[in-house]
Structure 1
Amino acid sequence: MECTPSSSTSSEQQQNEAKKIQKKKNSDFSSAAETSTTSTNETTTPRLPKDALKAQLTVSNVFERFERIVRECNLRPPVTFIIFFIHELAAAPQTEYWRRLVSIMPVNLIFALAHLDPHAIPLNLFMRLYDPEDEKNRKLCIKYAFMIRKL
């Protein structure tokens, strides 16, 4: 059969359309991949501070709960756990995260523990948590030392 101009044009058009569709699929796929990575990066990047904030609030809530338990003025197993936790915290290496954790911990928690048991948190342990080289912490260390001596 002889190829007529109209039949060759229609087959060329079909091939061109198939190529266009293939290119469109490829471009749609690559743009979808770019969009998915972009949206992933956009969603994960802002989540980090939110997650860090949530973690900080959670740790803060834990310390507030510790403080409420200690204020009940009973030496119970939870209070013993809190004392051991503070001892372990003081023994941990002083990293950036350690400093954040100590900064979140309320000082009143340790003062309340000292009222319950003056020997639970010795002065050197308190000074490890709150470095006396900082002026604000130096005042806390002096206040703690006088309070322990008074008790």
Structure 2
Amino acid sequence: MTNQERYSDYKWIKVKRYTMDESKAWEERYKALDDHHIKETSFLIEEVRSLAKQLDSVEEAEQKLKKKQERADAIRSFFVMWWGFGILVMFIAKAFMDEPTQHRYSGWLLAVSLLVGAVCSFILSRIQWKKKNHEKVT
């Protein structure tokens, strides 16, 4: 039985049934029935509130998970761009240097390449972030 089938009727909610006491006068029976309806309604309202609270907590958890995933994706793309730009700058710089110059400045070349890569990837990630947030607002 699926959840949709299970919740298609009211039997999944356990509500106490009213039992009529034949020994009482009709006014007392009416009062007892009225009290039963008030208790039943209060119970159902509390049940709905409980279910709504559970649904809210699930939605909050999903939103937190989505934010964490977006943050992880942004960090991942930042580092991919960083290394990509860094390697690209290093290859371009090596193409214009002769062999002895490459060996002499290899440490500086790597540092500058990574710095340029970091700056470029930071700028691009900020542009992507602004575009994404601008799309959410509009």
User: What is the TM-score of this pair, normalised by structure 2?
Assistant: 0.43
User: What is the TM-score of this pair, normalised by structure 1?
Assistant: 0.40
Higher relative contact order (CA 8 A, sep 6+): 2
